[in-house]
Chains A and B, each alone.
Chain A
Amino acid sequence: MYFPIAGEHYFRMDIEKYIASGILELYVAGELSEEENMEVFRNAQLYPKIKEEIQAIEASVLALSKTVTPNIARKKGFDDLKVRIGQRRDTTVVQLPRPKRNWSARIGWAAAVLLGAGLSWFFYENSRLQSEFDVIYKENTVLRQEIFEARSSLNSTEEIMNAFRDKDVIFTPLEGQEVAPSSYARVYWSKNEQKVYIDALGLPEPPEGKVYQVWSLTLNPLSPTSIGILDSFASDGDKIFELSNPNESQAFGITLEPEGGSDTPTMEQLYTLGQLEAS
């Protein structure tokens, strides 16, 4: 789903809808692309309500993850961590009795200090390279995932394009009916594959608790068969839905039904209807 960057071309965005889409939950999970992350961040700065929602989502994940922390006496703690990151200051200095001058021992100590310095430089360098490597590895994983996602979205677009262009595909426009005269939809029916693609861009968003249901109709006698529901209509970006249709359809209709769909169409809520061209 695409949301415009707030403030650029749109004066207002539908905050409730944005929140309901579930994008913020994925933001907290770290499952969004870099661009989407930036966009959520900007929106959170513009709209306090979005920021609060993000904080509440995060709080719930924090509460849950806290309960599964292992039951151990915390042996290590922050002091151990400070040692690991080289930040521990020695607070106690043990005073040793002054040794007699012993040159061989001094040279020994000097060598040890040099060796120690060399080693710590080596470890520092090693851990620096390791963390650099980790960052690059992570970036690489993110990129791979982005490519993968772009590719799968491209594949499905191609699939739809092919379906639309196929000469065996029957195209039927559905016209707006009494309850919604200005609405429309298009049906592309591939009889061989027993599939229909519904282009539902011309339908308004269904009210809360309602869904669109698609019907295959035979005329004389008029009998409707449900083909399916336009699932997650609001969050679907291109509003193209794929349903299977093994029926010998003569017409298609779309009605508004309570969530979950109905057994028979509610004719008072018939949004669009279209008959196949007689062949």
Chain B
Amino acid sequence: MELDGLVRRFQKKDIIAFEKLYGMYWDNICGVVYTIVKDRERAEEISQDVFAKAWNNSESYNPGKGRFFTWVLNIARNAAIDELRSKSYKNQKKNLSLNYFVDIADKQDISRISDHIGLKKLVKNLSRKCIELIELLYFKGYTQKEASEQLDIPLGTVKTRNRSCISQLRENITLEWT
């Protein structure tokens, strides 16, 4: 309820409401962007742009067509992918689909994310396919079909599989919080 109210005020260009929403989702958006561009400074810069874009297009958000977070997430994924497609990254375009954030936890990159212990706890008993599926669908904006091709699983099972992966994630979160 509170969220709906904030979003409505945001759409009426209420800067106070916008600041609250910014505070609520900044880390998430920056996290998603970071997993795509893998550069801390750029991730921060792009995330600022994402919120600016959200503000400038606030009237185009329609609650009937999706969650507010999903809307911002979409802007963020597009902005991050655009960045990758820009000239400076052209040659590494292929890398986009091959680096999973799950690997971050295993590499020296570990100190670059703010809560690597949290990450490990959240994904601890999830299969690799599960983590990859979640990353593709939520963080990289793959369609079901693209994800099924990338991970070599039947298209018809993406939906139910994703449900069970997210359910496991939710269980881990519940354990974490209790």
User: Which chain A residues in 140-175 approach chain B with CB under 8 Å?
Assistant: 145, 148-149, 152
Cβ contacts under 8 Å, A20 to chain B: 163
Per-residue interface assignment for chain B, residues 130 to 173, with 1 indicating a CB less than 8 Å from any chain A CB and 0 otherwise: 00001001110101110000000010110111110010011001
Within the assembled complex, what's the spacing in Å between the Cα atoms of A244 and B40?
50
Cβ contacts under 8 Å, A30 to chain B: 66, 70-71, 73-74, 141
Asked if B53 is at the interface (CB within 8 A of a chain A CB), the reply is: yes
Asked if B96 is at the interface (CB within 8 A of a chain A CB), the reply is: no
Q: Given A22-B163, A60-B173, A135-B60, do A68 and B66 touch, yes or no (CB 8 Å)?
A: no
Closest CB of chain A to B82's CB: distance in Å?
9
Among residues of A, the one whose C-beta sits closest to the C-beta of B115 is A67
Asked if A66 is at the interface (CB within 8 A of a chain B CB), the reply is: yes
> B69 to A29, Cβ gap below 8 A?
no
> A64 to B160, Cβ gap below 8 A?
no
> A69 to B34, Cβ gap below 8 A?
yes
> A22 to B28, Cβ gap below 8 A?
no
Q: Is the interface of B mostly helix, strand, loop or mixed?
A: helix
Q: Given A27-B66, A232-B160, do A64 and B60 touch, yes or no (CB 8 Å)?
A: no
Q: Given A22-B159, A57-B166, A232-B156, do A37 and B64 touch, yes or no (CB 8 Å)?
A: yes
Within the assembled complex, what's the spacing in Å between the Cα atoms of A42 and B64?
8
Q: Given A30-B73, A80-B48, do A66 and B169 touch, yes or no (CB 8 Å)?
A: no
**Most chain B beta-carbon neighbours within 10 Å: one of A42, A69, A138, A149:** A69
**Most chain B beta-carbon neighbours within 10 Å: one of A29, A135, A235:** A29
Closest CB of chain B to A243's CB: distance in Å?
13
Among residues of A, the one whose C-beta sits closest to the C-beta of B121 is A67
Q: How many residues of B contact A (CB 8 A)?
A: 69
> A60 to B162, Cβ gap below 8 A?
no
Partner of B40 from A72, A128, A149, A235 at Cβ < 8 Å: A72
Asked if B114 is at the interface (CB within 8 A of a chain A CB), the reply is: yes
Cβ contacts under 8 Å, B53 to chain A: 131, 134
> A236 to B156, Cβ gap below 8 A?
yes
Partner of B113 from A34, A67, A78 at Cβ < 8 Å: A67
Closest CB of chain B to A227's CB: distance in Å?
16
The chain A residues found within 8 Å of chain B, CB to CB, are: 20-23, 25-31, 34, 37-38, 41-42, 54, 56-72, 75-76, 78, 80-82, 84-85, 87, 127-128, 131, 134-135, 138, 145, 148-149, 152, 231-232, 235-236
Pairs A–B under 8 Å by Cβ, sample size 23: A22-B161, A26-B162, A28-B138, A31-B137, A34-B65, A38-B65, A60-B166, A61-B69, A61-B134, A65-B27, A65-B138, A67-B122, A68-B31, A68-B32, A68-B101, A68-B119, A69-B31, A70-B113, A128-B56, A131-B53, A134-B78, A231-B154, A232-B156
